[in-house]
Amino acid sequence: MAVAVRIGGGQGPQVLKCGFEFATDQPRPMDDGQLDGMVVDALRHAGADPAYIHAYKRTGVLITTDNFKRWRKRELEEFREALEEWERLWERRN
């Protein structure tokens, strides 16, 4: 199980990452690759739009209607650009 929590900080949002080791009940650090892989797997399992998954992989942020107002303008622009990039790639494939 993995937990990724964004919290407000002095220089903007920070990401706290930890996993939970069920055998020992102890938290353990996770690297970015592990966490990203788990998030992408969960998004796919939930049936998320592939464009949304692409945008997460490109930007590292998950934007939802619930957290939309928490993101900075630049992060929102980067996410939108990644969605548009997916659309361009999709059009070339078809």
Q: What is the CA radius of gyration of the chain?
A: 15
Lowest mean pLDDT among 5-9, 27-31, 83-87: 5-9
Angle of the 32-45 helix axis to the 50-59 helix axis, nearest 10: 170
Q: How far apart are CA 67 and CA 93, in angstroms?
A: 32
- b/e per residue, 43-79, with b = 16+ CB within 10 A? beeeeeeebbbbbbeebbbbbeeeeeeebeeebeebb
Residue extents of the structural domains in the chain: 2-93
pLDDT in tens, 23-82: 556 666 777 888 888 889 989 999 999 999 999 999 988 888 888 899 999 999 999 999
Could you tell me where the DSSP H helices lie in 16-49? 32-45
